[in-house]
Amino acid sequence: MTRLALIAHDEEKPEMIDLVRTYEDLLATFDLVGTGTTGQRITDETSLTVERKKSGPVGGDLMIGAETAENRLDGVIFLRDPLTAQPHEPDISALLRICDVHDTPLATTRSSAEFLLQGLARRTTE
């Protein structure tokens, strides 16, 4: 089964919810994992189930990085706020590096997330 990680900075959480609602039928066929707050919001506001790691500020992003290092993820969507991210929010640099090392696609914007989801959908139907 396709396994996808979902992370969003505070200001991007509404965009993540909108993205997830748009692709809810597809995402229902995936095994989803997310950081604590993002995963909780998705679970509360959709019909999807998300395996929740710790919140980003206390290591959830690193837990997702560990899954990437173990080749347990098919992709990561990390909607980040490059202009007003707060110091307590997860930093993307370590996650970006581990995704690059393991050739795991990482999307950081709505547009790139949609391309990632379309690619994963195409892969699951082949």
Note the pLDDT of residue 92.
Answer: 81
Domain CATH code at residue 69: 3.40.50.1380
Confidence of residue 93 (pLDDT cuts 50, 70, 90): confident
Q: What percent of the chain has pLDDT over 90?
A: 81
Exactly one of 61, 74, 81, 91 is catalytic; which is it? 61
61 is catalytic: yes
Return the sign of the alpha-carbon dihedral for residues 44, 45, 51, 53. negative
Strands 31-34 and 3-8 come out as parallel
Beta bridge partners of 51: 33
What pTM, to 2 d.p., does this model score?
A: 0.93
C-alpha to C-alpha distance for 9 and 7, rounded to whole angstroms: 7
Residue 104 counted as an annotated binding residue: no
User: 46 among the known binding-site residues?
Assistant: no
- Indicate the pLDDT class of residue 88, thresholds 50, 70 and 90: low
For 35-83, write each residue's pLDDT tens digit. Answer: 999 999 999 999 999 999 999 888 999 999 999 999 999 999 999 988 8
Domains of the chain: total: 1
Residue 40 CB contacts under 8 Å (≥ 6 apart), including other chains: 50, 52
Q: Which domain holds residue 69?
A: 3-125
Q: Determine the pLDDT at residue 124.
A: 73
Residue 83's pLDDT is: 80
State yes or no: 88 annotated in a binding site: yes
